[in-house]
Structure 1
Amino acid sequence: MFQASSLSPEQVEQISQWIDGGCQLAELQKKIDAELGIRITYMDTRFLVSDLGLEIKSPTEEKVAADAPLQQKVATGHVTVSVDEIVKPGALVSGQVEFADGERAIWYLDQEGRLGLDADTPGYQPSENDVMSFQTQLQSLLQQQ
C-alpha cells in the first residue's frame, strides 16, 4: 500500500497542481507513474488524494462552476412550487420553490411536521406575499397527493 508520507513536498505540490488543473483519478494515476516514476494503483491514488486533503472535481462541477456567472436570476413575477419524486432524507415530503423575484429554494416538511426552507442565497427572506402564495400552492399540491 502506498503512503502519502513517502512523497517529497515537491511531489505533493505537483499532484496538487494537477488536481487543481482538473485532472481526474485515472489521469492522475498515469501522471504519477509517468512523471514521478511512482507505480500506484487506482485505489491507492484515491487514498492518496484523500490523505493529501485534495478534492477531485467532476467534469460536471467544472462546467457548472464555469457557467455559474452566466446564469442570472430571472424574475417570473409569480411563485412556482414543485414536489420532489424522491424525498430528501429525513423529510416526509420535499421539493423546490421559485419565488417571484427569481430566487430559488428547497423546501421540506420534516418528521415533526415543521416546514423548512433552504434558499440558494444564504439569509434570503421571501416577501410576505411570496410566502403566502408558496404556502397556498404547497397546500394544494400536497392535497392532490
Structure 2
Amino acid sequence: MFSTKQLSEEQIATIKSWAAAGARLPDIQLKMHEEMNLPITYMDTRFVILDLGIELAKDDVAVEVPDDLAQEESHTGGVQVTMDDMPLSGMIVSGKAVFSDGERAIWTIDQNGQPGLEPETAAYDPTEEDIVEFQKQLRALIQSLRE
C-alpha cells in the first residue's frame, strides 16, 4: 500500500498544482506513474488525495450533468453519465446520470460490486433503451479507470 510518507515536499507540491489546474483522479494517477515513476493504484491515489486534503473538481468525467433549472429544461435527450472524482462514502465508484426524458439519478457501485441507482423522482423507472445506454456509458467510464 502506498503512503504519502513516500512523497517528497516537491512531489506533494506538484500533485497539488496538478489538482489546482483541474486534473482528475485518473490524470493524477497517470502523472504520478509517468512523471514521478511511482506505480500507484487508483485507490491509493484516492487515499493520497484525501490524506493531503486536496480538493478536486467535481464530476468532470464524461459529459457534465446540468445543474440549474434552465439547463435542465434545455436537456436535448439522450443519456448522460458522469463519474464522481471522489465516490460517495462506502462506495467504490459513484456518479450521476441524466436520462433522455431529463430525469436525474445518482448511481453507485458498493464495495461488494453491487450496483445501485437512486432516481430523484421516487417511483421513476427509466426506459429499456435508456438503461441499455446508461450501462454502455457506465462500462466505458469504469474501463477508463483500468487504463
TM-score (norm 2): 0.49
* Larger Rg, first or second structure (1 or 2): 1
Compare the two structures and name the one with the higher helix fraction. Answer: 1
